[in-house]
Structure 1
Amino acid sequence: MAALTSALAAPASRPERWWAPGEGRVFPAELDYENETGTLRTMLVGGPMKTKGHPFFAPIGPNGRACVTCHQPADSMSLSAQTAQERWTATNGRDPLFAAGDGSNCPTLPQATRASHSLLLDHGLIRIQRSWPPKDLTGKAITPDFTIETVRDPWGCNTGAKYGPAAASPNVSVYRRPRPISNLKYLLAVGFAYDPKQGMPLPLDPESGRPMSGNLMADGRAGTLNAQMRDAASTHLEFLKNMSARDMARIVYFESRLFSAQIRDRRGGALDAGGAEGGPDKLARSQPGNLGSQGPAPVWSEFAAWEKPDPSLTPEQSAFRQSVARGARSFREKMFLISDSAGINSPIGFGNPVRNSCVFCHNMTQMGNDVAPGQVDLGTTTQPFADPAPHLPLFRITCRRDPHPHYGRVIYTSDPGYALTTGRCADVGKITLQSMRGLAARAPYFSNGSAKDLRAVVDYYDRRYRIGYTEQEKQDLVNLMSAL
């Protein structure tokens, strides 16, 4: 027994980056992986844990995948495009990650060629197939108030006899980044008794009757971990039968104990030193809450101690830490006009435009996601704001009744987002905001992978809302995000 305890407690000095389904490795209490800007740490509270036979790590379905396939510890429990490329090279494209159902651009393409998997390899995107029209949480069919037509279909998954809105069983294929499943305490937190973006009561979990946060999935189609697991099991894992209640409970228990964040920067050193309180340990000990920049702990105030130069550090370390502190202050205090963004400027609206800063939406202390539930449209998937994306499908949305409050009656988008769940034209383009921890480990960014790096994220916001960041402000924000 002593030998087993010792083995479980001893972390590998340089752990293998890829966690293959069913390999039976022990998940340690702390797991560190290097990335481009420093080191990410994932903490398993109460760990370590043997993974042999655990349903998160076991290849239960016929395609050889497990949950861990798309939620890798080295990628902050998500999946980076770089990791996908490494797996393609290591396995000559034969890893279960590249299963035809969603690991390729379309199942009808020749699966042995790299081009058929280019969206995953080059942009980190998984194919999401949504039934059309949608159904509500109780399974009742929804009558959409818009029509959807395919204008561009580079991979054939939206115009075929089996795949597409005009197929025998209508469906819509969109392509999205896998969302991280670490730090779930914050993503599941309910900060309001209602959805302030819609002015409506929060949706209730049909099983428990409790309100749901809406922060789990990009299009809000599953509001609880159990619902998310059922969705993933039937699609990404291709399970032939439902997961058992016991297996789902084991997965929830594991996921709820995971906390991920950068712990060290190559230029700034330890990110939980010098008065800062960063890292996954702080996430594990803190509680969700605190809307906006008000209150005793404004967003990213854990880096306030770095504003002054530290003579005990090298000039490079001190300069980087000061840059992070400036980025945190800019994140909170740099005001700009937010306009034509559904979920912010409409439907109930804070005004159009409304003057605020980044914390208007990224307002949860220690985490940077939204305390307020609900989805918003930043324009990342919808014209005229979206960056050109000829590799993605393009849909024409035509509102049947009232026009969209910002786009009018006809909308062009590569991903209708939340509208694929609600069937409402007003929800076209709305996407659940990303959490901000562990960003350096999981490029590219935005739901459609349109920002290849953190600088591209800042540049997009600067263009979209005409903020007018200086070059120094941009670099400070990049340094801040790389330290999270």
Structure 2
Amino acid sequence: MRGRTILGAAIALFAGAVAWGQGATPPDRWWNPDEGRTFPATLDYADATGTLRLLLDNGPMETKGHPFFTALGPNGRACVTCHQPADAMSLSAASVAAQWAKNGAKDPLFAAGDGSNCPSLPQEERASHSLLIDHGLIRIARPWPPKNVTPDFRLEVVRDPSTCNLDPKHGLASSQPHISVFRRPRPVANFKYIEAMGFAYDPKAGMPLPLDPETGKPVSGNLMADGRVPSLTAQMRDAAGTHLAFLKNMDAADIARVLDFERRLYVAQQTDRLGGALDGDGAKGGPRLLQVSAPGRLGSQGTPVWSEFEAWEKAAPAVKAGWTPEVRAFRASVARGARVFREKTFLISDTAGINSPIGFGNPVRNSCVFCHNMSYMGMDVAPGQVDLGTTNKPFADPLAHLPLFRVTCTGRPHPHYGRTILTHDPGYALTTGRCADVGRITLQTLRGLSGRAPYFSNGSAKDLRGVVDYYERRYNIGYTEQEKQDLVNLMRAL
């Protein structure tokens, strides 16, 4: 039933209109490697709630031979395979399901290395790719223990539906031990904000910022979910060797071309089917604002987070009278949602990266903008990782399809979970080897959400309401039903 539901959503998505350039015949939503399409300066795609827009500075750009769009390794993939323009430069579960229905296992997306639950499974069978097809999750294989690190915890497999952590060739007991976790692809756009330096140190750990070993310069730390690489250049090399199966490192010229493309690309929701243009009637939604604005400011010090929608709340009655009742109701809801996001406070407790190790207090009272604090983007200005509980028991939702591990601290107990932790993904701890980092994940941008469900690093929230409901359960916030809907409408407008 779950597979049929996602496939139905995928077919509906694919039936949506796409604006290509100046009214040319729309191509397939899916970008295959080596197609040689032209990437236009403005590119619109219909999604579940309206229209997503991509803007490319100094576009259009020819993609023939471009390393982001070209299969340079033996598995037939390119960067675009897992970072699709119609999915806000990420990868939605609906798009994955449609690709399986169209091509099955022969599609490069389902390459055995990380597009299946485990490379040892029969690759022609749908069940071998269920985590990707049904949940949009890519397999991430991390060496265990980490290189040049002595962990202060033991790691055991409690259960593993993927089979990979117990596999004699790919698992924890193999000759080259690895742990397999499953995560959503992160969006590849709006890097002016993602790379911005909001602090001169890591306030979540009270430590100096990490340095890029190639340049010696501090880096933002907001790239990878588990912080395993410090820079976009290192991220490209990591992806080339794992997800793309390149047989040699990308050369400097290819890296420069990919960096140029990624840093020129902006993505955000442009229109809503209920609220109309998101940059209309005084509001400043859409990617154009991202394109022209300066990043790296805390909303409390610069432009308040999501204040780009205040004009809808403050519009004169005569102006509002010209809106249809449907438009008026949606726009009022978005403006209220922005205020709830900024102003409704609640007690944040037992959250590593906030309540420990540096001590904001446990609990500490604040609102959503405590972490989602960057103007125009909603990501965290501060580098470093936070444990929201999405992967750790007892806070994580029931996720029977994911591996479950037991972490036993051999040094100090975890400050919030004690000596033993059950987790679906140790997160940042797979990089540092520190028990205190179990479950900590790098926060990401909130732009283009409607185009890239499901949400959270492990895809545990199938829709935007699921995101709100998780926070409500985790922190006992006390949202009213109206506030929940207002937050959903805000997020679909981003």
Tell me which interval the TM-score lies in, with the shorter structure as reference length. over 0.9
Tell me how far apart the structure 2 counterparts of residues 34 and 345 of structure 1 sit (CA, whole Å). Answer: 40
**CA contact under 8 A between 2:87 and 2:451: conserved in structure 1?**
yes
Correspondence 1:214-229 to 2 at 5 A: 214-229=221-236
**Residue aligning to 2:103:** 91
Paired letter, 1:255: E
Look up the match of 1:433.
443
Map of 1:300 onto structure 2: 306
Contact 1:76 1:441 in 2 (8 A): yes
Residue matched to 1:251: 258
**5 Å matches for 1:77-476?**
77-135=89-147, 141-292=148-299, 294-308=300-314, 310-476=320-486
Shift of 1:13: 5.3
Kindly report structure 1 stretches of 4+ aligned residues shifted beyond 6 Å.
none
Q: 1:381, CA displacement in angstroms?
A: 0.3
List per-residue Cα deviations over 1:417-469 (Å, max 9, x = no partner): 00000110000000001210000000000000000000000000000000010
Alpha-carbon shift at residue 14 of structure 1 (Å) = 3.0
Aligned to 1:158, what secondary structure does the other structure show? Answer: helix
> Is contact 1:10–1:28 with CA below 8 Å preserved after alignment?
no
- Aligned mates of 1:31, 1:347 — CA distance in 2: 44
C-alpha distance after superposition, 1:185-234 (max 9, x if no partner): 11111111110000000110000011111111100011211100010000
State the distance in 2 between where 1:338 and 1:71 align.
33
Q: Do 1:291 and 1:363's aligned partners in 2 also have CA atoms closer than 8 Å?
A: yes
- DSSP-derived class of the 1:206 partner: coil
Checking the alignment, whether the CA contact within 8 Å between 2:378 and 2:446 is kept in structure 1 is yes
Q: Deviations over 1:323-381 (max 9, x none)?
A: 00000000000000000000000001200000000000000000000001000000000
Among 60, 75, 85, the alignment partner of 2:72 is 60
Aligned partner of 2:297: which letter?
N
Query: Do the aligned residues in 2 keep the contact of 1:323 with 1:479 (CA within 8 Å)?
Result: yes
The correspondence for 1:37, drawn from 49, 53, 66, is 49
Residue identity in the other structure for 2:182: Y
Deviation sequence 1:139-180 (CA, Å, 0-9, x none): xx1111111111111121101221222211111100000000
Q: Normalization by structure 2: what TM-score?
A: 0.94
Q: How many residues in Structure 1 have an aligned counterpart in Structure 2? A: 471
Residue 392 of structure 1: SS of its match in structure 2? coil
Q: Secondary structure at the match of 2:105?
A: coil
Q: Which amino acid aligns with 2:79?
A: C
SS at match of 2:166: coil
* Aligned-partner SS, 2:127: helix
Distance of 1:417 and 1:13 partners within structure 2: 43
Tell me the SS of whatever aligns to 2:165. Answer: coil
Match of 2:15 in 1: none
* Partner SS state of residue 52, structure 2: strand
Equivalent residues of 2:302, 2:375 under 8 A apart: no
Asked if 1 retains the 8 angstrom alpha-carbon contact of 2:390 and 2:397, the reply is yes
In 2, Cα distance between the equivalents of 1:473 and 1:148? 40
| Normalised TM-score (structure 1) | 0.96
Task: Indicate if the aligned counterparts of 2:240 and 2:250 stay in contact, CA closer than 8 A.
Answer: yes
From 477, 480, 483, the counterpart of 2:490:
480
CA separation of 1:13 and 1:43: change in aligned 2, threshold 3 A: farther
Which letter does structure 1 place at the counterpart of 2:228?
R
Q: Do 1:149 and 1:395's aligned partners in 2 also have CA atoms closer than 8 Å?
A: yes
Measure the CA separation in 2 of the matches of 1:344 and 1:394: 25
Q: Where does residue 5 of structure 1 map in the other structure?
A: none
Q: Which amino acid aligns with 1:120?
A: L
8 Å Cα contact 2:21-2:42 kept in structure 1: no
Aligned-pair CA distance for 1:11: 5.9
Contact kept? 1:15, 1:33, Cα under 8 Å: no
Secondary structure at the aligned position of 2:44 is classed as strand
Deviates more, 1:88-97 or 1:365-374: 88-97
CA distance in 1, matches of 2:25, 2:83: 21
| 2-structure distance, mates of 1:160, 1:168 | 11
Q: Secondary structure at the match of 1:64?
A: coil
Cα offsets for 1:292-334 (capped at 9, x unmatched): 4x23510000000111461111010011000000000000000
Cα distance in 2 for residues equivalent to 1:93 and 1:426 = 39
Change (3 A) 1:241 1:386: same
Q: Structure 1 unaligned runs (5+)?
A: 1-7, 136-140
Matched residue SS, 1:129: strand
What is the distance in 2 between the residues matched to 1:17 and 1:473?
34
Whether the 8 Å contact between 1:87 and 1:93 is mirrored in structure 2 is no
CA separation in 2, counterparts of 1:230 and 1:125? 21
Amino acid at match of 1:58: T
Whole-Å separation in 2 of the counterparts to 1:422 and 1:212: 17
SS of the counterpart of 1:175? strand
